[in-house]
Amino acid sequence: MELSSKEDVDAPLSEVFEAISDFASFERSAIRRGVDVQRLSDDITPQVGLAWDVRTDFRGKPREMRLQVSSYEPSTKISLDGDSAALQGSGQIELLALSPQRTRFSVTVKLKAKTLSGRLLLQSLKLARSKANRRFKHRVAEFASLTEERLNRSA
């Protein structure tokens, strides 16, 4: 299953990339939402190999996943790979400068099942594909809006 979305942000590419590579901020945000996040390294510098163990409840069951930065190209792209007992996934954020003060970022998430329970989970997501797409696009738009507001406040 694949989910994707594109949003435009009224901010320079370098500032948007700095915001999306602020992993400490994402860790705090996940913790506020009840997700247990454990960075596997003391180094907070964004780089390939940076990894986290993530635990949360999803659909009434505890889920554990390991996330790892698989690609890091400053100013253009960050890719993450995720692996759990039932699912395997990858996510990619790409940035494109539309003008000196406007940036488009594209977010793509791909999920694959590894087990029967993973296939059942993905099948239920596929049955509600339009709702999942709508929620995903809303979250990406919300992130773009918050990033734009934060960057404009600090300018």
Does the model's pTM come out above 0.95?
no
Cβ-count burial of 1 within 10 angstroms (0-12 exposed, 13-18 middle, 19+ buried)? middle
CB-CB contact of 69 with 50 (8 Å): yes
Residue-wise pLDDT tens digits, 80-125: 999 999 999 999 999 999 999 999 989 999 999 999 988 988 898 8
Fold assignment, 2-154: Alpha-D-Glucose-1,6-Bisphosphate; Chain A, domain 4 (3.30.530)
Domain ranges (residues) in the chain: 2-154
